[in-house]
Structure 1
Amino acid sequence: MTVYETSIFAPMKRFPKHMIWVAMFLLLAAVGCQDNASSGDPAKSVAPVGAEVEYTLEAYMSGYRGVGGEIEGKINPALKANAGDTVTLKLINKENMAHDIALDGQDVRTETAMKIDEVVEVTFVAKESTDYFCSLPGHRQAGMQGKFIVEGVAPQVAQNAPAVAGGAGSQLFPKTGTPLKPILPVSTDEISLGADTVPAPIGKRAPETVEFVINTSEEIAELEDGTTYEMWTFDGKVPGPMLRVREGDNVVIHLDNAPSSKMVHSIDFHAVTGPGGGAAVLQAPPGERRSMSFKAMKAGLYVYHCATPHIATHLARGMYGMILVEPEEGLPEVDREYYVMQGEYYTTERLGTEGHQIEDANRMLEEMPTYIVFNGRVGALTESRAMKAKVGETVRMYFGVGGPNKVSSMHVIGEIFDRVYKEADLISPPARNIQTTLVPAGGAVMVEFEVDYPGTYILVDHSLSRADKGAVAILEVEGEADDTIFKSLDGIKPVH
């Protein structure tokens, strides 16, 4: 049995986000969730002013369910109190994932209930009407929201509130009224996984049992220079580690969720034939391990990702990677192999804003990413972290899209793909001489090309506005120039 511990990535240096050559090459270039809430009748008769009022709710991803009295069985019931009442909200978690309850715009929130049947509560004095909701990312959008009605106090109207210094605002980035918090201390020096972090080829061998230990953690990291963000990771990196097995192998997965995590995490392997791609049995609470085994039945290059609700939120925090299942005969030998994944971040403020960015769930539901990047952050695969090759070498790229939403038009400026294994089909003959190839969200492709001329080659999503959002990677090619392939008739040297 071969056992792999995947957390082997050393911290690496940070790099600036602005590169002149990018500008030279590329200058040309919620909807709210469905309201699942029942308007519901009040939970119970309103007690006299100053009375004690208590409500009990069960927490499900689909919404809060009332317990007792007139709210029994109602989803997201309206809760009522009089101004000045002392209110206790008791929450019973009924799922193997984290939930809480908070009041919108008020400093009222329970602790997070992490386990099934765990009970948390909060007591406060009723002041004004607002919404109650689950504050964990994505849960409110999934339906965990209801009305808290306080009689005797007029609800505030947001548009009448005085302006407060904040972001400049636009149709896509409306004013938040809150400046970004200062940049936070990072918990990892480098969130990006290097493109050259590719396991060795397997080649031709008999099937065997292969075991992997994968760790999930929640990190504060640099999204770009001067800007931090909370990312959720496999093995502390984005993307997660590339796994490599052979068709017919028995694959054992151990998923360890860090004790410091606030969220349940899991994995859905697109290479798995079985419920949830494995996610049905890999929901790991903080500080716990979940394990499974599966047979790698089909050769191909497959995405894996966290599949704990709200799933899109976990992907938009960086929880994706790929597993390569080599055919029985292995893959043809090449000189260089690189691992690149495209992903999206949705933030409250525009790209380039210094400070600590916060996730904007409405932008995610509207599929309007602030950042689109390769391998986890802006500039991840540039400068000294750029991919390398020499003239005459054959380069293979394993390219996937973690999403959660956008399709990629993969293109290397100045190169033509000799072979494209579309949608990571490693069995059929590859397409040849391809300029740009589409890669769906949650999908992958394997491309190969020989580099014939030295220079700087830029990997982009050919929806080129995305280069301005961070989707730029560099392949540096060294060697002798062949004027029969390419030359300037004006004596101009190519930009490197």
Structure 2
Amino acid sequence: MQSWFKYPVTRRFLLGVGALLGGTSAVRLAFGKAPPPYPQDDTHAAQSNPAGGHGTHNGMTTVGEVNNARNGFDPHEILTDWDRGTVSRLPDGGILREFEITAEDKEIEIAPGLLFPAWTYNGRVPGPTLRVTEGDRVRIRFRNLGSHTHSMHFHGIHSARMDGVPGAGNVPPGGMFVYEFDAFPFGCHLYHCHSIPLKRHIHKGLYGAFIIDPDPDRHPEQADTARSRLLGSLENARWQEFVLVMNGFDTNFDDENEVYAVNSIAHAYSKRPIAVDRARPIRLYLVNVTEFDPINSLHLHANFFDYYDHGTTLSPTQRTIDTIMQCQGQRGILEMTYKDHEPGVYMFHAHQSEFAELGWMSLFNVRDVALQQQASGE
């Protein structure tokens, strides 16, 4: 009897085998009739399905649930769990933000029943979202508890010896290194391992978002806009901010992804739509670290947004668009509002259809929060 595995084992091959076996392929991805799409959860779930059953591309979604507790992280919490570090004052009066980051090998579940042998920062993929303010001194104590040499390379401005590349902050197993630099420029950035082979270290999960908020005092001509991005300010409090790290997973290590996602868990935000208040504007910090594909993208349904490439400007670099493409390492800020829309469930997803069907499909649940609070007597 001839073995099937004389042929290339690609994601399409695995999906075909899954169909033949009734959805029990090696990748455990079943694209058939989906479970009820919106569990009734006050925080994240939709209250109804106005999409008429098509909110998950007519059932084209993973079947079952990922065990977030076993993973040690929840993709819905990753949306907003900014790590601000431990804050103290420098002798010159400046702000010092200190972070503790550990690299470790860890098996994570990226789709129901599908375990992936990841390399992680602080036990999660993506790693913690580090959020600082322009001009802060940033100090990261990096410990490598993994099985391979690792590093942290920050997209930003710093000295050569802090670059996190071989010869400058590359850390062997059991080692430690302290990265230190001042946070410039403001924007939506990222960090990732830069050890060799680079594609494997990134693809295995060693990356995370690095957000530098603008300091309004440095931008007096656009101080109000800068304050709206400064976490903790009154102007920022009216915004609903979320970080979305676009990634993919090569489950059989053939340099081709079988699963796509934002924040690592396939279809996480299809099954539990992201709850947003219709009265408040939305800001997305979008980062692409998808390996093996030249671009990834985000398409917003029924709405348009302003885009800030790399987030390094306070005025949009593109206005009134509904689709943005990013190559690996590219990132940006998207701003939008649903204030003139009716409440309901609205899609956003990769506009490579294959990516969407293999996990990168998401939904906003747009609600009238004030009216719901009044109705419930809050």
Q: TM-score, normalised by structure 1?
A: 0.53
Mapping 1:86-485, distance limit 5 Å:
163-164=2-3, 172=10, 188-193=70-75, 194-199=78-83, 207-258=94-145, 261-275=146-160, 277-279=163-165, 280-329=167-216, 330-332=226-228, 333=236, 334-348=238-252, 360=253, 363-364=254-255, 368-384=256-272, 386-406=273-293, 407-417=295-305, 419-452=306-339, 453-479=342-368
Give how far 1:188 is off: 3.7
Q: Is the 8 A contact 1:188 1:220 kept in 2?
A: no
Structure in which a larger fraction of residues adopt helix: 2
SS of alignment partner, residue 457 of structure 1: strand
Q: Is the 8 A contact 1:195 1:381 kept in 2?
A: no
Unaligned runs of 5+ in 1: 1-161, 349-359, 481-496
1:60-94 Cα shifts (integer Å, max 9, x gaps): xxxxxxxxxxxxxxxxxxxxxxxxxxxxxxxxxxx
Give how far 1:207 is off: 4.1
Identity over aligned pairs, percent:
22
Amino acid at match of 1:409: S
Q: Distance in 2 between matches of 1:189 and 1:347?
A: 17
Q: 1:389 to 1:309 in 2, by over 3 A?
A: same
Give how far 1:271 is off: 1.4
- Between structure 1 and structure 2, the one with the greater Rg is 1
Amino acid at match of 1:278: G
Q: Distance in 2 between matches of 1:254 and 1:437?
A: 35
Unaligned runs of 5+ in 2: 18-24, 29-66, 217-225, 229-235, 370-378
Q: Distance in 2 between matches of 1:429 and 1:383?
A: 32
The number of equivalent residue pairs is 293
Q: Is the 8 A contact 1:251 1:295 kept in 2?
A: yes
1:372-428 Cα shifts (integer Å, max 9, x gaps): 2111121233434x32211111111111011224322212222211x2112322344
Q: Distance in 2 between matches of 1:331 and 1:168?
A: 59
Give how far 1:239 is off: 0.9
Q: Is the 8 A contact 2:346 2:364 kept in 1?
A: yes
Q: Distance in 2 between matches of 1:228 and 1:434?
A: 37
SS of alignment partner, residue 286 of structure 1: coil
Amino acid at match of 1:277: D
Q: Distance in 2 between matches of 1:278 and 1:171?
A: 34
Amino acid at match of 2:153: D
Q: 1:410 to 1:172 in 2, by over 3 A?
A: same
Equivalent residue for 2:54? none
Q: TM-score, normalised by structure 2?
A: 0.69
| CA-atom RMSD in angstroms | 3.3
Q: Distance in 2 between matches of 1:270 and 1:188?
A: 31
Q: Is the 8 A contact 2:164 2:170 kept in 1?
A: no
Q: Distance in 2 between matches of 1:463 and 1:180?
A: 23
SS of alignment partner, residue 284 of structure 1: coil
Q: Distance in 1 between matches of 2:303 and 2:268?
A: 21
Give how far 1:435 is off: 1.1
Amino acid at match of 1:229: F
